[in-house]
Amino acid sequence: MDSLRRLKDLLAELDVEQTHPAKRDHSLFYRIIKEEILSPKSPFIKRVPPIEFVIYAIKNIVAAPLSSSRIPDLLHLLTIAEFYRGRTLDYARNASTWNGYYTKDNEQNENALVCLSATEAAFLKKLENKNTAFRKVYIAILCTCCQLDMHLLWTASPLSITDFLVRFNEYFPSLNEYRNIESNPIFRYGLSEEESAKLQDIGLTCCEFVQDSVEWAMENKGDGQRLHDVFQGEQFQETFRRPCQDAQIYSLIKFFLDHVALAAKGVNEMFIQNED
């Protein structure tokens, strides 16, 4: 797995947040990906990409102004990051359980096994304690991205009703009783009833936005002016502000990714560092 190690080392040196990223470093990264990772003989063709790659891809997307063309990819990658967080949590829970068992067993056994240090055990416990909070962060990011995507599509110039409706049906299928094609993005899988309900509420908010924006535009458009032209006006944008600014969503995503990276790194170093 020398290719993977080379890429991880390279990723550790890259800074996608800097104003002028080093193109030489990025081009080297892309070349290794193309020649060694995406090769038909590569073992990575049929496995989930390493978390370092996922985080790199997400940061590349959010480093630039968010657009409706990139948000579906962003949601897909965020779902993979959440998968990693869940898998890491499973490792942490299993390790904590067995550590507790063998710690007690060692008290009565002369052939004592090596158990987790107090620092390691505390780290794993902290991951468990933070699970609910970071799941809420993840769901908040999903809801925010979906709402922002709908806003961007509806106020795009030129406006494409088709693009808007296709994306709306993907994000909020339960709100369209006439849909006849099931096309659920992966982030919808694994949602609890409560989480699905929150996403549906976002869909209803988007419906209200569309209705209110059309009513406002009809009342304020000039003679011969098209509705989507009104959407581009400063007064409209002041009345119907974006659900969030890029800096806000970037900050929330970075907070989430920093935790995922720290958790994965910590557990990997404890238990699975030789799997790569």
pLDDT at position 268 over 70: yes
Residues 72-80 have a mean pLDDT of: 94
Identify whether residues 33 and 89 lie together within a single domain. Answer: no
Identify whether residues 122 and 236 lie together within a single domain. Answer: yes
Half-sphere exposure (CA, 13 Å, Cβ side) for 170? 18
Identify whether residues 198 and 102 lie together within a single domain. Answer: yes
Domain count within the chain: 2
Domain assignment present for 55: no
pLDDT at position 271 over 50: yes
Summarised one tens digit per residue, pLDDT across range 100-125 is: 777 765 555 555 566 778 888 899 99
Whole-model pTM over 0.75: yes
Domain assignment present for 52: no
Identify whether residues 235 and 108 lie together within a single domain. Answer: yes
User: Nearest-CA neighbor of 256 among 135, 147, 161, 156?
Assistant: 135
Domain assignment present for 54: no
Summarised one tens digit per residue, pLDDT across range 33-51 is: 666 666 666 666 666 678 8
Domain that holds residue 12: 1-47
